[in-house]
Amino acid sequence: MPLALLALAIVAFGIGTTEFVTMGLLPQIADGVGVSVPHAGNLVSAYALGVVVGAPLLTGIGARIAHKRMLLLLAGLFVIGNTASALAPNFGTLFAARVLAGLPHGALFGVGAVVASRLVAPERAARAVSMMFLGLTVANIVGVPAGTALGQHFGWRFAYFAVGVIGLIALAALALLIPLQPRGQAAGIRHELRAMANRQVGIGLATAVVGFGGTFAVYSYLVPMLTHLTGMAEGSTTLVLALYGVGMTAGTLVAGPLTDRALRPTLYGGLVIMAATLFAFYYGVHLLATALICVFLIGAVGALITTPVQMLLMAKAEQAPTMAAASNHSAFNLANAGGAWLGGLVISAGWGWASPSLVGAALAVAGLGLALVGGALDRGTTEPSPVVAESAAGATAHAAPAPLPESS
């Protein structure tokens, strides 16, 4: 695997840290800007709003910009958004800064996934993309706990400053390690949107929203579920969340090779295992040992599904994969919001703290159904490669890793 993937993994590490560190610092942030903790929770939604809006918007705006330059611009915006978050004097300004910090999230992953897939031979494309996602999973093990501890001991602003420093490191790594990859002559917003019109892209995005909604229905309430049903002390839940991150890392490591060998079977199998694990969690959450096993598996299978969905969308939007790859992360954030909402509904209805597991299992089954529909529509057709050129007039099928990357 080329060293350039390290730069993309650093970007993903920074994104994963800033996305989740706010959740662990809500009491400190609430005190700092003079609002209640539930009101401060809207900052999580602010970031998600930035992701949902920014992924298609910034990808469209940058449709004619060379991928390396686009990555540098997006990483710069990431640094600005997190620095502004650290300096925000009041809640309103902080809310706007979190939206700004979320704007480049989806586009960074989208452009980064396309770049990663073209750094290697086509048969190793999924492994390259999964190496980028590895930075996101490691953030859940190291970045988020470290950022939370930093914010709790020195003030929440230091956590955002630290993420800004990570962004600067990522910016330097991108400039040094990523080679130029030419855009095709047909590149542009209309070209990207035409590729998005493929019905398989729509089915793939719907699969991500519904299928991943099952994971987030449980993850959003994981801490109260464990404290209420297993009797776990609140101070121990940080270790459980780290275990979830370890599961994500394990799932990401196996997702790449499996997706390269059999994309759709990996997706189908992941959704089946996810549904079974969430259903088992409903009964196993009352025992600490089974609860911990299920937490690890939920993290692992969630990560296992991420890579085939990303590669499927890039394949179906084969002549303009960047918009599809970026929109996938808008879909993940919609899944986050929708899954959390449905999980909260069943808890509020009196079904019990374990009930989000049943909601999650049902959503995973529904996601499997959508994936099977997409597979049925593909029957008899040849699966396109996700690393084909954006235009026959321009880009090459994939770029072999260069020993000395071109400067930007």
- What confidence tens digit (pLDDT) does each residue in 6-30 have? 999 999 999 989 988 887 787 888 8
pLDDT tens for each residue of 280-323: 999 999 999 999 999 999 999 999 998 899 889 888 876 667 78
Neighbouring C-beta atoms of residue 223, cutoff 10 Å: 16
* pLDDT over 50 (residue 399): no
Q: Name the residue ranges covered by the structural domains of the chain.
A: 1-187+390-408, 190-386
Neighbouring C-beta atoms of residue 147, cutoff 10 Å: 25
| CATH match of 1-187+390-408 with 1.10.645.10 | no
The phi and psi torsions of 272 (rounded to 5 degrees) equal -65, -45
pLDDT tens for each residue of 131-183: 898 898 888 888 888 888 888 889 999 999 999 999 999 999 999 999 887 66
By the 8 A CB rule, do 335 and 213 touch?
yes
pLDDT tens for each residue of 48-60: 889 988 988 898 8
Per-residue tokens: 186:
């047909």
Give the model's pLDDT for residue 389: 44
Identify which of 71, 163, 138 has the alpha carbon closest to the alpha carbon of residue 108. 71
Percent of the chain with pLDDT over 70: 88
Question: Residue holding tokens 């929440």?
Answer: 156
pLDDT tens for each residue of 244-267: 889 999 999 999 999 999 999 999
Which amino acid, 59? T
| CATH match of 190-386 with 1.20.1250.20 | yes
The phi and psi torsions of 356 (rounded to 5 degrees) equal -55, -25
Assess whether the region 1-187+390-408 and the region 190-386 belong to the same CATH fold. Answer: yes
* pLDDT over 70 (residue 205): yes
Identify which of 218, 346, 343, 205 has the alpha carbon closest to the alpha carbon of residue 275. 218
Non-local (6+) Cβ contacts of 84 within 8 A are 93, 96, 97, 100, 101
pLDDT tens for each residue of 355-382: 999 999 999 999 999 999 999 988 756 5
| Cα first-last separation, the chain | 21
